[in-house]
Amino acid sequence: MDYTAAKDALMQNYEAYTEQDQLIWQMLYERQQKVLPGRAAQAYFDGIKKVGFKPNEIPRFEEVNEQLKAATGWSLTVVPGLIDNKPFFEFLENKQFPATTWLRKMEQLDYLEEPDMFHDVFGHVPILTNHDFCAFLKALSGMTLKHIGNDDAIEFVSRLYWYTVEFGLINDADGLRIYGAGILSSPGESVYSVESDIPQRVPYDVKEIMHTPYIKDRFQEKYFVIDSYRQLFESVAEIEATLENMLVTA
């Protein structure tokens, strides 16, 4: 699926959600709302209010998009699942976040290999109300598209995306907090990432991140901690310079 073919191809069929789908959303939502206070970043809770999520109702993308556009100019765009790198980063450069509309089954509450709507929407959307974070995503995507045919470049950028957008921590006003969607949608890793003595927590470092392969089948061994979302945006020039240097020696 390429960007031009995909950008208007799919819609959320809200009437297709069953009572069990609504129940699963509610169970996942309420479980995370018990876990995240004192652990998630303030920007995340601010975003929850801005987009108007409800515990007992799967979000309607049209309504979410109205709130997102008002906040930062971003919106959700429906995709069938994981998509190729080129359309993925093209969506982000155009301020559209790719999201699936299917929800996990009851037997998949605790683990799901491929991201579903709960991860895509509950995990990612609230932070998309933060201007600096959105500026980082857009700038990173524009930079990545310059190297889209280079597999080494995509691997290095994927690590950067993984350790920030998906599994990032931040030194918030009240202490160490979570902003990465992969953690925010996981009850176990929400606790582990900020409270366990097992993983390393190190300052945000572009070069170190690009040298750190990501982990998909278990909790992370290392988390990178930013001091602000502005720091992410301001690091894009360093990311590009570091990437260029690493590609020379790859």
CATH of the domain at 188: 1.10.800.10
Instruction: Taking residues 199-219, report their average pLDDT.
Output: 95
Whether the pLDDT of residue 113 is over 90: the answer is: no
pLDDT above 90 covers a percentage of the chain that reads: 87
Q: How far is CA 52 from CA 60, 167, 177, in A?
A: 10, 24, 22
Band the pLDDT of 249: cuts 50, 70, 90: confident
Pairwise pLDDT comparison (10 vs 203), residue with the higher score: 203
Instruction: Taking residues 3-28, report their average pLDDT.
Output: 82
What angle do the packed helices 236-249 and 151-161 form, to 10 degrees? 140
pLDDT digits (tens, 9 = 90+) for 183-196: 999 999 999 999 99
Domain ranges, residue 24: 3-249
Q: What pLDDT shows up at residue 112? A: 75
Concatenated DSSP letters of 39-98 = TB-HHHHHHHHHHT-BTTBPPPHHHHHHHHHHHTS-EEEE-SSS--HHHHHHHHHTTEEE
Band the pLDDT of 10: cuts 50, 70, 90: confident
- Number of folded domains in the chain? 1
To the nearest whole number, what is the mean pLDDT of the chain? 94
Question: By three-state DSSP, how is residue 131 classified?
Answer: helix
Whether the pLDDT of residue 242 is over 70: the answer is: yes
Instruction: Taking residues 31-37, report their average pLDDT.
Output: 96
Whether the pLDDT of residue 4 is over 50: the answer is: no
Whether the pLDDT of residue 24 is over 60: the answer is: yes
Whether the pLDDT of residue 48 is over 60: the answer is: yes
Q: What pLDDT shows up at residue 5? A: 46
Q: What pLDDT shows up at residue 250? A: 60
Whether the pLDDT of residue 3 is over 60: the answer is: no
Q: What pLDDT shows up at residue 141? A: 97
Whether the pLDDT of residue 204 is over 70: the answer is: yes
pLDDT digits (tens, 9 = 90+) for 53-71: 999 999 999 999 999 999 9
